[in-house]
Amino acid sequence: MKNKGLASLNSVVELLSEIVNRSMIQPIDINVDKGMEKSYCIHDMVIDSIC
């Protein structure tokens, strides 16, 4: 069961990286100690397409 959770987490990280690379979301707060993003902002074009 533990491996399934890790595989799911890896899938989420890959998908998140993909939408960041496509500039659909933008990291706005980075944890300097861990070198990871803590929060994101949705690009205005994505918001316009959703609404």
Amino acid 36: pLDDT = 76
Q: Which two tokens stand for residue 22?
A: 């496509």
Q: Which two tokens stand for residue 17?
A: 């990286």
Q: What is the pLDDT of residues 7-37, one digit of tens each?
A: 788 898 899 889 989 989 888 888 778 777 7
Amino acid 21: pLDDT = 92
Q: How far is it, in rounded angstroms, from Cα 42 to Cα 36? A: 17
Amino acid at 49: S
Its domain, for residue 17, covers 2-50
pLDDT bracket for residue 2 (50, 70, 90): low
Question: Could you give the number of structural domains in the chain?
Answer: 1
Q: Which two tokens stand for residue 43?
A: 């690009």
> How far is C-alpha 17 from the chain's CA centre?
6
